[in-house]
A and B are shown apart, each in its own frame.
Chain A
Amino acid sequence: MDKIVFRKPPLLTDAPMHYCPGCTHGIVHRLIAEALDELGEFENVIGVAPVGCAVFAYNYFKCDMFQAAHGRAPAVATGIKRARPDSTVFVYQGDGDLASIGMAEIVHAAARGENMTVVFINNGIYGMTGGQMAPTTLEGQKTTTSQSGRSAKEHGNPIKVCEMLSALTGPAYIARVSVHDVKAVKTARAALVRGFAMQKAERGFSLIEILSTCPTNFGMTPQQALCWVRDHGTAAYPLGVYKDIGLPGEGRE
């Protein structure tokens, strides 16, 4: 007798994704859909897509979606959540979107403790525009706007978002995960589930930073890019839970 052991989460559409070969956006999209499915959140989900490679994320999620201006997704989500407090709202942002042009929006949404879940893709580069330096580009990393490698003196230092936001009172859950191998993907999935659980329990703001690849603009094969994140990404951006105020019933309220 046949038994289904692997299926597409109901929140994902059948649309073929436009992402480059080896890009990890597809993995993260699936993990978001799985996490919401696990929590039984499907009927009343609203997502906010950023400007960047994930601008067309609304083609891949079946829920209602907004496309936000560059960096403004947390403000848009604030408006959505105030208008529809019962809905589950997720925000999807890259590092240029969140940590550069949208720094004010993400810091203040976190400080207010807005009851939303932010998925923050950190691949250290501007993907869609062709590989320019991001606020998260590592020291020494070559991009089209730091062609000799990023230098702290010339270009400034990489921004560590989880470390910064976890210093605020507002957030309920802040974690940095990666998707460079199967073990990391499983940890990332669990972090997303916990982030959405925080929202469901009305604990407030949650952010999951996901170290990701951009093989096209790294100038690497997909496998080389994953190894690069494993060896260099996680060294600069340590994985782990930066803040967790606990869920109801865990005795930490």
Chain B
Amino acid sequence: MKRLFKGNEAVAEAAIAAGCRCFFGYPITPQNEIPEYMSWRMSEVGGHFVQAESEVSAINMVYGAAGAGARAMTSSSSPGISLKQEGISYIAGAEVPCVIVNMMRAGPGLGGIQPAQSDYFQATKGGGHGDYRMLVYAPSSVQEAADLTYKAFFRADYYRNPVMILGDGMLGQMVEPAEIPPAADVSALPQKKWAACGNNGGVQRVINSIFMAPDTLEEHNAALTRKYEEMARSDVMSESYMTDDAEVVLVAYGIVARICKAAVDILRAEGVKAGLFRPITLFPFPYREIATLADGAAERFISVELSCGQMIEDVKLALYESGKRPQCGIYARTGGNVMRPEDVAEHVRSGRINKSWIK
């Protein structure tokens, strides 16, 4: 049954439904409802909540709990996610499954507390040191935030890899009807034989990311890469809206995709052949799907972002795979500002390729 949820609370309750029983957080706006919700909800379901001394500690508590076999999660917002990068790198290197929520705010530095998408590079290209990737889910509604958070725990376990929910301040704060997926039977899940959970019956298990011999580490890197390649084959998710005959394709994710959908409706009512392509996974990025649109009717692609030109780099990479050479530009707002559907529609009408926040 649907009920009203704030985005942050839907994420928290969906994690509980997925069997998350260990949550470690630290206050930072605009994600505070997640640790606040977990602080009372975890005790109801027999789980554990710790308000850590820092984001650095919170992600290391996730490493410990998840490495010991529990479904574990942490959440934060941009500056706090930067602090977690060391831990995320260790988690990826040691192949520990977990879920990390980033309700993005504008940066760099302390920036502001209003919505942004300026952690795209950090989320999709690694973030911490060393060669690694995370699955990155970008929900655009409260319902999808719940569904993707739930799914994230299963994909994390499957790959033994961190999964990031990349939302923003608006998604975290807005209230919409949503239905939380039914509670998973965690006892029925496959045993994590690799987990260092004690009682090992004489066979030691080590959670570790140190490989001193170059050949051994290279093979480890290769094994990780094969995993990321499997993600690229199996995990890509996207949504197309009115793209079949679209000559102008807006590419947008998360909350911006909602705005662009309204812009497409405005433009279609005027007879402009506009469409929306929405990546749901940002890693793996739907390169092939965008190239297919370019091979068809699309002549102009506009990356609509709350960042100074980050996702557009992946859109351009996707177009490189196409036999055609459509135009590719950007429409961006930053600093916590969000574009209106009318702004996007006007930009499309103007025929311009690039329009940014820079006057």
Q: Looking at the complex, which one of B69, B199, B206 makes contact with A67 (CB distance below 8 Å)?
A: B206
Contact B210 A67 (CB under 8 A): yes
Residue of B nearest to A105 (CB): B57
Interface string of A66-97 (1 = CB under 8 A from B): 11110010011111111110111000000000
For residue B66, CB closer than 8 A to chain A, the reply is: yes
- CB of B48 within 8 A of CB of A68, answer no
> Shortest distance in angstroms between B35's beta carbon and chain A's nearest beta carbon?
15
Q: Would you give the 0/1 interface string for B197-211, flagging 1 where the beta carbon is closer than 8 Å to chain A?
A: 111101011111110
Contacts A46-B68, A105-B53 hold; do A79 and B198 have CB atoms under 8 A apart? no
B206 in contact with A58 (CB, 8 Å): yes
Interface hub of B66, B87, B197 (most chain A Cβ within 10 A): B197
**Interchain nearest-CB distance for A204 vs B (Å):** 15
Give CA–CA (A82, B62) in the complex, Å: 10
CB within 8 Å of A: which B58-104 residues: 58, 60-70, 72, 86-87, 90, 94
Q: Is the CB of A84 within 8 A of B197?
A: yes
Which of B52, B205, B207 gathers the greatest number of chain A CB atoms within 10 Å?
Answer: B207
Q: When the two chains form the complex, which single residue of A68, A69, A83 contacts B22, counting CB atoms closer than 8 Å?
A: A83
B56 within 8 A of A: yes
Judged by a CB distance under 8 angstroms, whether A62 is at the interface is yes
In the complex the two chains form, is A67's CB within 8 Å of B204's CB?
A: no
B231 lies within 8 A of chain A by Cβ: no
Question: CB distance A75 to B52 under 8 Å?
Answer: yes
Residues of A within 8 Å of B196, CB to CB, are 46, 64-66, 80
Q: Which residues of A contact B202 (CB under 8 A)?
A: 62
Give complex CA distance A63, B69 in Å. 16
Q: Known: A63-B204, A66-B67, A83-B68. Contact between A75 and B61, CB under 8 A?
A: yes
Contact of B62 among A56, A79, A105, A107 (CB under 8 A): A79
Interchain CB contact under 8 A, B198 and A86: yes
CB-nearest residue of chain A relative to B210?
A67
Residues of B within 8 A of A61 (CB): 204
| B:30-64 near A, CB below 8 Å | 48, 50, 52-54, 56-58, 60-64
Residues of B close to A45: CB separation below 8 A:
198
B206–A64 contact, CB under 8 A?
yes
CB distance from A170 to the nearest CB of B (A): 13
Contact of B198 with A72 in the complex, beta carbons under 8 Å: no
Q: Which residues of B in the span 170-226 have a Cβ within 8 Å of any Cβ on A?
A: 196-200, 202, 204-210
Complex contact A69–B87 (CB within 8 A) = yes
Tell whether, in the assembled complex, residue B64 and residue A75 are in contact, meaning their CB atoms are under 8 Å apart: yes
- With a cutoff of 8 Å between Cβ atoms, the chain A residues found around residue B228 in the complex are none
Q: In the complex, which residue of chain B has the Cβ closest to the Cβ of A85?
A: B48
Q: Is B132 close to A, CB under 8 A?
A: no
A139 CB contacts on chain B under 8 angstroms: none
Residues in A neighbouring B205, C-beta threshold 8 A: 64-65
B204 in contact with A65 (CB, 8 Å): yes
A87 contacts B87, C-beta separation under 8 Å: no
Contact A66 B70 (CB under 8 A): no
**With contacts A69-B86, A69-B87 known, is A79 near B72, CB below 8 A?**
yes
Give complex CA distance A45, B198 in Å.
Answer: 5
State whether A82 and B61 are in contact (beta carbons under 8 Å apart), knowing that A67-B207, A87-B198, A108-B53 are contacts in the complex. yes
Contacts of B56 in A (CB 8 A): 72, 75, 104-105
Contact B206 A79 (CB under 8 A): no
Determine whether B24 belongs to the interface, using a CB cutoff of 8 Å to chain A: yes
User: Considering the chains assembled together, what is the distance between the CA atoms of A105 and B24 in angstroms?
Assistant: 14
Selected from A65, A69, A78, A86, the residue in CB contact (under 8 A) with B61 is A78
- A63–B205 Cα distance when bound, in Å, is 8
Residues of A within 8 A of B70 (CB): 82-84
A181 within 8 A of B: no
Residue pair A64, B204 in contact (C-beta under 8 Å): yes
Partner of A83, one of B48, B52, B60: B48
Judge whether B60 and A105 touch: CB under 8 Å. yes
Q: What residues of B have a CB within 8 angstroms of the CB of A75 in the complex?
A: 52-53, 56-58, 60-61, 64
CB distance from A251 to the nearest CB of B (A): 32
**Closest residue to B54 on the A side, CB-wise?**
A104
> Is A43 part of the contact surface with B, judged by Cβ < 8 Å?
yes
Residues of chain A within 8 A (CB-CB) of B200 are 63-64
CB distance from A40 to the nearest CB of B (A): 14
Is A169 located at the chain interface by the 8 A CB criterion?
no
Interface centre among A44, A56, A65, A107, by most B CB within 10 Å? A65
Q: Are B57 and A72 in contact, CB atoms less than 8 angstroms apart?
A: yes
> Do residues A84 and B198 form an inter-chain contact, with CB atoms below 8 A?
yes
Question: How far is B70's CA from A105's CA once the two chains are assembled, in angstroms?
Answer: 21
Interface mask (A95-138 → B, CB under 8 Å = 1, otherwise 0): 00000000011011000100000000000000000000000000
A108 to B68, CA, bound (A): 21
Is the CB–CB distance between B210 and A55 below 8 Å?
yes
- Not counting A58-B204, A78-B57, a sample of 10 additional A-B residue pairs whose C-beta atoms are within 8 angstroms of each other reads A44-B199, A58-B208, A62-B204, A64-B200, A66-B63, A75-B57, A82-B48, A82-B70, A83-B197, A105-B56
19 A/B residue pairs, CB under 8 Å, sorted by A: A44-B198, A46-B196, A48-B64, A61-B204, A64-B200, A65-B205, A65-B206, A65-B208, A66-B206, A67-B209, A68-B60, A68-B63, A68-B90, A72-B87, A76-B60, A79-B63, A80-B65, A82-B64, A83-B68
Q: Give me the interface of B with A, judged by CB distance under 8 Å.
A: 21-22, 24, 48, 50, 52-54, 56-58, 60-70, 72, 86-87, 90, 94, 196-200, 202, 204-210
**A-B interface, 3 closest residue pairs, ranked by CB to CB distance from nearest:** A79-B64, A64-B196, A79-B65
